[in-house]
Amino acid sequence: MQPFHRAYYRVLEAFARGQVRRLIVTMPPQHGKSVGATTLLPAYILGADPDCRVAIASYSGALASKFNRRVQRILESREYGDIFPVTTIKCGNKPPNYIRTADEVEIVGHRGGLLSVGREGSLTGNRVDCFVLDDLYKDALEANSPIIRANCWEWYTSVVRTRMHNASRELIVFTRWHEEDLIGTIMQREKVVALRRWEQLGTLRHDEWLHLNFEALKVSPSSELDPRRPGVRPRGAAARARCAGRVVPPARQQGGPHPLQRGDRAASAALPARLAAAVARAPRPSDRLQAPVPGQPLARRARRAYGNRRA
């Protein structure tokens, strides 16, 4: 449990209470964003308001169903029942008139429930009061694809936005891979305000976004939410990746298309030298060719060494 976790959960609680209607959270991988946004938050919202209709979306239906099952295990736990005794779900075949599957679960005696859907999935006929979009891109390959980014934006505007009403809440949380991903496109088209002070909670208009960003390497000035000094890294997988000597894209670790910092430039400058050394150690094509055979063309010997692949 790090200080940024406490700040993260405090912002999520303000979102659950309705103080924030549109929230964007960006942080490095393996820092607990999905545990808070797609596991604990839906359970907390359904406990506080059993009539709330919550939806979880991810890059695939399988991952979204996984989040749904995690929430269901919390809802049926004894500890949860002691805190929220009114919020209950179907157990076994009772009550028989309620739905409980891997993709949808209904709250017994109330209008609320939890629905999970994959990216580009259908939500026809479902009204959503609170939408949580987590990891809409599987990896960097999908985020770097213009077609997938365009399809994601089209699905978001034509499906997600049409299922919400004027009082709906919306949370987008994932690690950024590309500057023109869903978050980047929203920042270009709509007003997004960076969250730096606690007094900002509850002061934004309903059409404005609040952006909470935790940087792997602190480069922005210290704030109430992130009091680290510039140049300090948090404990976690991102810091271990740096120690291992791997070069990680700045947008992935910093929450946006930030320029390379001094440490990133040093690591990037070392890449050509390492690449040249690797090329020097690699066997040359002439080393793989067999000794000349009288009457055998060079092309035939090359095919024997490399197969039918073209250079």
Q: What pLDDT score does 280 carry?
A: 55
99 contacts: CB under 8 Å, gap ≥ 6: 90, 105, 106, 113
19/2 Cα distance (integer angstroms)? 24
**Residue 60 one-letter amino acid:** S
| Residue range 80-138, pLDDT digits in tens | 999 999 999 999 888 888 999 999 999 999 999 999 999 988 888 889 999 999 989 99
* Tokens at 21, concatenated: 């209607």
Q: What is the pTM of this model?
A: 0.75
pLDDT band at 306; cut points 50, 70, 90: low
CA distances in angstroms from 220 to 10, 17, 227, 261, 289, listed in the order given: 21, 29, 10, 12, 56
Q: Tokens at residue 59, please?
A: 């890059």
Q: Kindly tell me if the per-residue pLDDT of 286 is higher than 70.
A: no
For the chain, what is the HEC assignment? CCHHHHHHHHHHHHHHCCCCCEEEEECCCCCCHHHHHHHHHHHHHHHHCCCCEEEEEECCHHHHHHHHHHHHHHHCCHHHHHHCCCCCECECCECCCCCECCCEEEECCCCCEEEEEECCCCCCCCCEEEEEEECCCCCHHHHCCHHHHHHHHHHHHHHHHHHEEEEEEEEEECCCCCCCCHHHHHHHHCCEEECCCHHHCCCCCCCCEEEEECCCCCCCCCCCCCCCCCCCCCCCHHHHHHHCCCCCCHHHHHCCCCCCCHHHHHHHHHHHHHHHHHHHHCCCHHHHCCCCCCCCCHHHHHHHHHCCCCC
pLDDT of residue 266: 45
| pLDDT over 60 (residue 227) | yes
What would the mean pLDDT of 233-243 be, rounded to a whole number? 51
10, 21, 74, 96, 100 from 93: Cα distances, Å: 37, 36, 19, 5, 9
CA angle 149–140–4, rounded 5-degree value: 100
Q: Other C-beta atoms within 10 Å of 210: how many? A: 23
pLDDT tens-digit map of 180-216: 999 999 999 999 999 989 999 988 988 899 999 888 7
pLDDT at 299 over 80: no
